[in-house]
Structure 1
Amino acid sequence: MALFSFSLIPISIIIFIFGYNIFQRLRFKLPPGPRPWPVVGNLYDIKPVRFRCFAEWAQAYGPIISVWFGSTLNVIVSNTELAKEVLKEHDQQLADRHRSRSAAKFSRDGKDLIWADYGPHYVKVRKVCTVELFSPKRLESLRPIREDEVTAMVQSLFKDCTNPDNLGKSLLVKKYLGAVAFNNITRLAFGKRFVNSEGVMDEQGVEFKAIVSNGLKLGASLAMAEHIPWLRWMFPLEEEAFAKHNARRDKLTRAIMEEHTQARKLGGAKQHFVDALLTLQDQYDLSEDTIIGLLWDMITAGMDTTAISVEWAMAELIKNPRVQQKAQEELDRVLGFERVMTESDFSSLPYLQCVTKEALRLHPPTPLMLPHRANANVKIGGYDIPKGSNVHVNVWAVARDPAVWKNPQEFRPERFLEEDVDMKGHDFRLLPFGAGRRVCPGAQLGINLVASMLGHLLHHFTWSPPQGIKPQEIDMSENPGLVTYMRTPLQALATPRLPSELYKRVPADI
């Protein structure tokens, strides 16, 4: 009898969840969408590349759809008007953040910026980022780091493509872009270049890489159980594994923080983010958890996204040699063949800026915006969004909407010469960095680095497909995931086009 009673528990839970979902659908006027299955919702119907799947469903059901992740309602919006409703008109009611169990563990229940709910803590750390960390003055003071890492990339590319053993061979572009992104973000955040001039990683760098890798592994280990609460007893959170990971991460971060604390006592403080946060700790009442969380927010948000954006841009430039040539003609006209580009040249390179915008339009690094959680019942597009629901903006679909973009699938930077479109959250047609209260505070930093990398790659080299491959044969499909890696990493031939002395790096000590 006891065994029979015990077996009724999961059945009762299933019936309760199923009944609750039906109640929600009857009580509220929810957006249309594919019919959910009992318990699992639409989880088994979602194709791996989610933003494409949701864009396809939007064609069938309309620009606002309901998708059930287990028992949780997720609303996806896919056009400019609805994105504006979500991110501007109802921004405050939709400014909370859904945290998975792994995100809650990594962020210590939202003590950072990315995973914090909207409230006093979020407003405080947001102010720290906007006013202190990503101010124009600080970004300018850290410009030598960005330019140093980009010139290091150019030097490495030149060395490899002129190596007699590599003549005629294509290069794995991602390798060079990833090195820039890794070294740049670790230097900006920690003041550390974990890799020496020979490409050898030091002990802290090895540990740092291992922590990043382990964090990704832990975060991906709970997908199904996250969405079906009654399954969690079968897939318990690995409390010990998360505790060990956080302890390992914190140990490394505290060691670096202590190094900077000692340097400040000796008068050696610089402008890196760790120095800024330690200096501002008392002024803003920042806990150690928050400082560590903010540093790792910068790392997770900035490490892959820049490299991803530039790889997609280079793929488009190789597929579109007309655009590549036009960008190079502008660079040659402004810079000539006797010096290299710096960020101060950006204002004189409007076409390069348009190439950057067009690449981010077609290939936003985070095509499905991190979920905004409703903290109150709200209406979007005439439909009810119940409190506790998650709302996603399909940035990829918005930027390809034929209602607002002419020939949206075409890579045509000239569209931004014809009309200036802001991409830092003020124009809801183009949202690679989000908008509203949760817009990315590091948007300008990301734009500067992408434009700088593209400018150097185009000024220093001519790019073409590998031998035997036509430009139109380059694989432009995406890997599944939160960020859009190319399914087939880009291979390309690089041919130097400047005097050899312009490929040398002079390390910047900052």
Structure 2
Amino acid sequence: MGLPLLPVALILLLLAYKLYQRLRFKLPPGPRPWPIVGNLYDVKPVRFRCFAEWAQAYGPIISVWFGSTLNVVVSSSELAKEVLKENDQQLADRFRNRSAARFSRDGKDLIWADYGPHYVKVRKVCTLELFTPKRLEALRPIREDEVTAMVESIFNHCTHPDNSGKSLLVKEYLGAVAFNNITRLTFGKRFVNSEGLTDEQGLEFKAIMANGVKIGGSLPITDHIPWLRWMFPLEEEAFHKHGERRDRLTNIIMEEHTQARKKSGGAKQHFVDALLTLQDKYDLCDDTVIGLLWDMITAGMDTTAISVEWAMAELIKNPRVQHKAQEELDRVIGTERVMTEADFTSLPYLQCVVKEALRLHPPTPLMLPHRANTHVKIGGYDIPKGSSVHVNVWAIARDPAVWKNPLEFRPERFLEEDVDMKGHDFRLLPFGAGRRVCPGAQLAINLVTSMLGHLLHHFVWAPPEGVKPEHFDLSENPGLVTYMRTPLQAVANPRLPSHLYKRVAADM
């Protein structure tokens, strides 16, 4: 007789706890939660759009319950400023689900670390050692090499007799740049050669990435309803094996770099070399070194390719903007050489195109959740300790209260007003702001600008035959980052002399 009463007792306890919170705290409004599951079954798959719809109904700050966990979502630049600047320190912790906790060794990395001495130390390593202008400039040949390799691959495709007038899948070429760039910057390795062949370590690396995505998304409901875990036993062995496999590959690469430094007597600029030489100086444990390397991989692998694909979709949909950007490139670069990163300052319209693409299509539209380490007030409402706080960057960037014609792709808006996008203007937050702003923002901006500039300078882009630009599907797939639901297909036509499409490999 006792067992059937247990679920009822748990439900009553949970309802009593929620009632206690509602009576004790003035919580933001929001959709009415169901017992036990809260709003988990009300949330639509594309969460940032769902939260934006709820903000229209309940206001720019809302409460959303994931099981018994309170999530507060803000959707205005004013409230984002309260979260990320005025109450930054109180909201600088991280909510870690089970997969994030295990992948980060319970926050020994940077992305998933709570705010405290460890975070401050690792952040210092990133800002003072890894992402300095000097190191980014030293690694520029890698970025430019991978971008020119992409240009050559596209040229080979569209000039092949069998492909005349045929469209190509844009993300394949962008993904190759992102993959090779991040592995070379991080590990000093190009796992995929110019013929598209992957070596043994590259195959293992790809398998680890795919497995991490698979097990990382398993059974998320139990993160929010802990007492249900007995019904869905966590495959601890799967996490353990994945961690061992990831660490084994990383340690092999780290040992290769250690031996190479002993032979050469010095270290190169790759992040693995930098971290290994800085390990004693900053007292970094092996878990932190490995965690930082994989933070860079997971943060940089998809986001640049995603951003460029969205930008290209908008440029094909808006040929006026594409033509204007190409006119600037022709005026500054001409048709007898290729663009380099040194040209960026002379290409203001191209930089505006990048900003406009990141405004309309931020790669991480809903910031990773901040967690309150103490009771705090936002927008006049109580945010109890332990609550998660999300900033809906996507909604803020489309707010008609702060953007004129917010749904229009119009880069000129940034010529009319210089808007910072690295955390100082809370209307445009593709890289976050405050203590948890992305330390690699400039690296990402450089790569996205370079990829877009080369694609526009080298090719004229058009939709596939029979497809009108206005019919492009600009909806998103569900997930932490905003993949296009329908991958972009486009026709590329060369516009420069053929000798400018050859890649000259960088030896790094």
How would you bin the TM-score normalised by the shorter chain?
A: over 0.9
- Mapped pair 1:272 → 2:270: yes
* Superimposed CA distance per residue, residues 239-279 of structure 1 (whole angstroms, 9 cap, x where no aligned partner): 10000000000000000000000011112521000000000
On the 8 A contact 2:37/2:225 being kept in 1, the answer is yes
What is the CA-CA distance between 1:287 and the residue it aligns to?
0.3
TM-score (norm 2): 0.99
What is the CA-CA distance between 1:6 and the residue it aligns to?
3.0
* Superimposed CA distance per residue, residues 200-256 of structure 1 (whole angstroms, 9 cap, x where no aligned partner): 000000000000000000011121111111211111221100000000000000000
Amino acid at match of 1:282: D
Residue of structure 1 equivalent to 2:398: 400
Q: Matched residues in 2 for 1:473 and 1:147: separation?
A: 33
Question: SS of the counterpart of 1:282?
Answer: coil
What is the CA-CA distance between 1:311 and the residue it aligns to?
0.1
- Mapped pair 1:155 → 2:157: no
| Stretch of structure 1 that moved more, 292-301 or 22-31 | 22-31
Q: Report matched runs for 1:14-29 at 5 Å.
A: 14-29=11-26
Q: Matched residues in 1 for 2:410 and 2:127: separation?
A: 32
Q: Report matched runs for 1:88-167 at 5 Å.
A: 88-167=85-164
On the 8 A contact 1:134/1:442 being kept in 2, the answer is yes
Q: Report matched runs for 1:448-463 at 5 Å.
A: 448-463=446-461
The one of 452, 464, 467 equivalent to 1:466 is 464
The one of 266, 283, 293 equivalent to 2:281 is 283
| Stretch of structure 1 that moved more, 21-30 or 273-282 | 21-30
The one of 62, 66, 74 equivalent to 1:65 is 62
The one of 301, 306, 314 equivalent to 1:303 is 301
Question: SS of the counterpart of 1:253?
Answer: helix
Question: SS of the counterpart of 2:305?
Answer: helix
Amino acid at match of 2:364: T
Q: Matched residues in 2 for 1:140 and 1:11: separation?
A: 62
Q: Matched residues in 2 for 1:288 and 1:126: separation?
A: 16
Q: Matched residues in 2 for 1:102 and 1:18: separation?
A: 28
On the 8 A contact 1:49/1:478 being kept in 2, the answer is yes
Tell me the matched-pair count: 507
Q: Matched residues in 2 for 1:120 and 1:222: separation?
A: 32
The one of 372, 378, 381 equivalent to 1:380 is 378
Q: Report matched runs for 1:222-301 at 5 Å.
A: 222-267=219-264, 269-301=267-299
Unaligned runs of 5+ in 1: none
What is the CA-CA distance between 1:387 and the residue it aligns to?
0.3
Q: Matched residues in 1 for 2:63 and 2:194: separation?
A: 51
Q: Matched residues in 1 for 2:190 and 2:150: separation?
A: 14
Residue of structure 2 equivalent to 1:425: 423
* Superimposed CA distance per residue, residues 353-405 of structure 1 (whole angstroms, 9 cap, x where no aligned partner): 00000000000000000000000000000000000000000000011111110
* Superimposed CA distance per residue, residues 267-319 of structure 1 (whole angstroms, 9 cap, x where no aligned partner): 25210000000000000000000000000000000000000000000000000
Amino acid at match of 1:210: A
On the 8 A contact 2:267/2:274 being kept in 1, the answer is no
Q: Matched residues in 2 for 1:105 and 1:12: separation?
A: 32
Q: Matched residues in 1 for 2:41 and 2:251: separation?
A: 42
- Mapped pair 1:412 → 2:410: yes
The one of 417, 438, 446 equivalent to 1:440 is 438
Residue of structure 2 equivalent to 1:495: 493
Q: Report matched runs for 1:274-353 at 5 Å.
A: 274-353=272-351
On the 8 A contact 2:61/2:75 being kept in 1, the answer is yes
The one of 21, 43, 47 equivalent to 1:46 is 43
Q: Matched residues in 2 for 1:140 and 1:36: separation?
A: 51
Q: Matched residues in 2 for 1:10 and 1:117: separation?
A: 33
* Superimposed CA distance per residue, residues 138-185 of structure 1 (whole angstroms, 9 cap, x where no aligned partner): 000000000000000000000001111111111000000000000000
Question: SS of the counterpart of 2:152?
Answer: helix
Q: Matched residues in 2 for 1:76 and 1:150: separation?
A: 37
Q: Report matched runs for 1:75-86 at 5 Å.
A: 75-86=72-83
TM-score (norm 1): 0.99
Amino acid at match of 2:413: R
Q: Matched residues in 1 for 2:144 and 2:261: separation?
A: 25
Q: Matched residues in 2 for 1:210 and 1:259: separation?
A: 21
Q: Matched residues in 1 for 2:295 and 2:271: separation?
A: 12
Question: SS of the counterpart of 2:238?
Answer: helix
Amino acid at match of 1:206: L
Amino acid at match of 1:451: T
Amino acid at match of 1:115: W
Amino acid at match of 1:109: D
On the 8 A contact 1:339/1:502 being kept in 2, the answer is yes
Q: What is the Cα-based RMSD across aligned positions, in Å? A: 0.7
Q: Matched residues in 2 for 1:284 and 1:14: separation?
A: 48
Q: Matched residues in 1 for 2:428 and 2:99: separation?
A: 30
The one of 189, 196, 201 equivalent to 2:198 is 201
Question: SS of the counterpart of 1:283?
Answer: coil
Q: Matched residues in 1 for 2:225 and 2:19: separation?
A: 16
On the 8 A contact 1:10/1:230 being kept in 2, the answer is no
Residue of structure 2 equivalent to 1:172: 169
The one of 472, 478, 481 equivalent to 1:480 is 478
Q: Matched residues in 2 for 1:436 and 1:235: separation?
A: 38
Question: SS of the counterpart of 2:32?
Answer: coil
Q: Matched residues in 1 for 2:312 and 2:9: separation?
A: 54
Question: SS of the counterpart of 2:206?
Answer: helix
- Mapped pair 1:9 → 2:21: no
Q: Matched residues in 1 for 2:386 and 2:286: separation?
A: 30
- Mapped pair 1:504 → 2:497: no
What is the CA-CA distance between 1:9 and the residue it aligns to?
2.6
